[in-house]
Amino acid sequence: MNDTVIPLAYLFAAACFILALKWLSHPTTARRGVRVGEIGMAVAILSTLFKFEIVEYQWIAVALVLGAILGIPLGLVPMTAVPQRTALSHAFGALAAGVVGTAEYYLRKPDLDATTMIALGLEVVLGFLTFTGSLIAAGKLQGIVRDRPWIYRGQNIVNLAVFASALTMVGLLVADPGRAVLFPIIIAVSLVFGFMLVIRIGGADMPTVISLLNSYAGLSASMMGFVLDNRLLIIAGALDGSSGFVLSIIMCRAMNRSFTNVLFGGFGAEETVGAIEQRPVRTVDPEETAFLLDMARTVVIIPGYGMAAAQAQHKVRELTDALLRRGVDVKFAIHPVAGRMPGHMNVLLAEANVPYDLLYDLESINPELPQTDVVLVVGANDVVNPAARTDQHSPIYGMPILDADQAASVIVVKRSMRSGFAGVDNELFYLDKTQMLFGDAKAVIGQVVDELSKLPAKEVAGR
């Protein structure tokens, strides 16, 4: 029975996983996707526990209890901490693959055939490099590790040499799996490589790096499937790997960068070149902002990570509600790299109860911006910098941006004139149609909401 039921249970789980991802294509069916994924997972785990090979349960029980104890708080983190949590979960997934590969090697090393050894080698190298790489990424996102990339001369050559040496040693093991002395060295080198790969990457590239690490963790799990001859693992790992890969491509396109450029470029490494020249900007106060927004027919809000850093998303939602009540058409324009991981800004706004039908992505909102009365930029900078379209010498040239400068007028909520991640000055701030609303985003948006409530009620069509 064991031989028929368990493979069928695994097949069922694989189907559940594919269905889960399919249902994630729409917000109305997405939660059903989570359910079906949970069912598949439960069926796979329970049927595995009935396998004859499992003879003792005490350590499994301890590990499951500890996993649940750590997993529950990690599942309840605030939305601002989701990128760190995600990086940490890539580290855990990769660690699992790495240690399983290690155990399999020592249990089976005399009779490992070449193909299994290749899969095992890749599993272990990818697993351990993703483990340290993801820990560093999590540390950077949490602010424990310095956010600016750490760069020295010849770094790329050193990194490539380290990686090549790990692969060479795997090659030697494929030729003769008995060379057990190499195995711990491969682990050590992979751990070091993961550290070196991510330590050199700056905050702006985090969405891409998280996606890439996602892809590696998935591939590593898939390789584990080859080693253990378990097709469910191969499928789940391949789904995870391709998901990370697709997201990496989307992130790279959104920043007009290539993979090599992200991994070997050191974007945002230099501190801003020279002092930013003091140029006059027009400023505006909350009272006038409230008036301008109230007069507008259409308002598009462009949030950036600065909004989340200032915890201003709830005030922004209050502003949205107030404007909608007063008959103003409000939309949000979300750049793909707004936030610190793919889709992060949408989640931050959803948490603040902003309805998702107000959220528009770059392709759908840009054609509307020329007809927009007021664009309100909250804590975003590089993603609205017109230099990406016009200045060939700018480091962000060619990056798709939200065309805020096409709107009739622009209000920028900003703490100071400091530059964004890319360390470049933003021409948008100096335009005649632009007014700067300086201050802490949470405080000033709150003041705008107060000012709006003082304005006389107006006739709203259709109410």
Partner 1 sequence: MTKTLEISLFIFVLASFLGYTVITRVPGLLHTPLMSLTNALSAISIVGSLLLAGGGESTMATVLGSIAVFASFTNIVSGFLLTDRMLGMFKRREAPSRKAPTPEVGP
- Minimum distance from CB of 406 to partner 1 (Å)? 19
- Kindly identify the residues of this chain, within the stretch 155-184, that bind partner 1 according to CB under 8 A: none
Site for partner 1 in 193-212 (CB under 8 A): 210-211
Residues 331-390 that bind partner 1 (CB under 8 A): 334, 336, 341-344, 346-347, 350-351, 353, 355-364
Given 294, 382, 405, 425, which residue is catalytic? 382
- Residue placing its CB nearer to partner 1 in the complex, 159 or 242: 242
Instruction: Verify binding: residue 57, partner 1, rule CB under 8 A.
Output: yes
Cβ proximity to partner 1, 138 vs 284, nearer residue: 138
Q: Which stretch binds partner 1 (CB under 8 A): 80-88, 376-384, 388-396, 431-439?
A: 80-88
Q: Which of 57, 58, 76, 56 is nearest to 68 (CA)?
A: 76
Give the whole-angstrom CA distance, residue 377 versus residue 382.
11
Give the residue, chosen from 7, 11, 12, 41, that forms a contact with partner 1 under the rule CB under 8 A: 41
Q: How far is the CB of 147 from partner 1 (least distance, A)?
A: 20
21 belongs to the binding site for partner 1 (CB under 8 A): yes
Nearest distance from C-beta of residue 446 to partner 1, angstroms: 22
Task: Say whether residue 455 binds partner 1 (CB under 8 A).
Answer: no
Contact between 85 and partner 1 per CB under 8 A: yes
Q: How far is the CB of 246 from partner 1 (least distance, A)?
A: 5
DSSP 112: -
Strand (E) or helix (H) holding 110: none
CB of 110 to partner 1, least distance (A): 14
Q: How far is CA 94 from CA 110, 124, 375, 417, 436, in A?
A: 25, 9, 43, 41, 45
Q: Is 229 a catalytic residue?
A: no
- CA dihedral over 136, 141, 142, 145, signed as positive or negative: positive
Instruction: Choose among 255, 126, 98: nearest CA to 197.
Output: 126
Q: Is 302 in the site for partner 1 (CB under 8 A)?
A: no
Mask for 225-254, x = binds partner 1 (CB under 8 A): xx-xxxxxxxxxxxxxxxxxxxx--x----
In the complex, the smallest distance separating the C-beta of residue 150 from partner 1, rounded to whole angstroms, is 26
Residue (343 or 439) nearer to partner 1, CB: 343
Q: Which is nearer to partner 1, 113 or 270 (CB)?
A: 113
User: Which residues ranging from 106 to 125 are in contact with partner 1 (CB under 8 A)?
Assistant: 106-107, 115
Distance of CA 119 to the CA centre of its chain: 28
Give the interface segment with partner 1, choosing from 73-81, 189-197, 259-267, 404-412 (CB under 8 A).
Answer: 73-81
- Pick one of 8, 67, 185, 418: the residue that binds partner 1 (CB under 8 A): 67
d(C-alpha 438, C-alpha 261), whole Å: 34
- Distance, in Å, from the CA atom of 339 to the CA atom of 207, rounded to the nearest integer, reads 8
Which of these segments, 91-99, 275-283, 431-439, 445-453, binds partner 1 (CB under 8 A)? 91-99
Tokens of 68: 């649940």
Strands of 163-303 (E only): list them.
Answer: 298-303
**At 225, which amino acid appears?**
G
Query: Does residue number 134 form part of the binding site for partner 1 (CB under 8 A)?
Result: no
**205 in helix, strand or coil?**
helix
Q: How far is the CB of 164 from partner 1 (least distance, A)?
A: 25
The helix or strand, by DSSP H or E, that contains position 406, with its residue range, turns out to be none
Applying CB under 8 A, the span of 92-100, 142-150, 156-164, 391-399 interacting with partner 1 comes to 92-100
3-state secondary structure of 330: strand
Which residue, 69 or 457, has its beta carbon nearer to partner 1?
69
Q: Does 48 bind partner 1 (CB under 8 A)?
A: yes
Task: Name the residue nearer to partner 1 (CB basis): 26 or 148.
Answer: 26
Residues near partner 1 (CB under 8 A), total: 117
Question: Which one of residues 99, 162, 174, 309 is an interface residue with partner 1 (CB under 8 A)?
Answer: 99
Q: Determine if 306 is a binding residue for partner 1 (CB under 8 A).
A: no
Beta strand 298-303 pairing with 374-378: parallel
Binding residues for partner 1 restricted to 383-422, rule: CB under 8 A: none
Return the sign of the alpha-carbon dihedral for residues 29, 35, 39, 44: positive
**Contact region with partner 1 (CB under 8 A), list: 84-92, 168-176, 194-202, 450-458:** 84-92
Taking the complex as a whole, the smallest distance from the CB of residue 382 to partner 1 amounts, in Å, to: 18
| Rounded Cα distance, 159 and 185, in Å | 16
Helix axes 114-142, 155-175, angle to 10 degrees: 150
* Run of H or E including 362: helix 362-365
Task: Print burial letters for 361-371: b (CB count within 10 Å at least 16), e (below 16).
Answer: ebeebbebbee
CB-CB neighbours of 314 under 10 Å = 15
Residues in the chain: 463
CB of 397 to partner 1, least distance (A): 23
Q: How far apart are CA 293 and CA 283, in angstroms?
A: 15
Decide if 116 contacts 105 (C-beta within 8 A).
Answer: no
Q: Tell me how far apart the alpha carbons of residues 351 and 382 are, in angstroms, rounded to a whole number.
A: 24
Q: Residues with catalytic annotation? A: 382
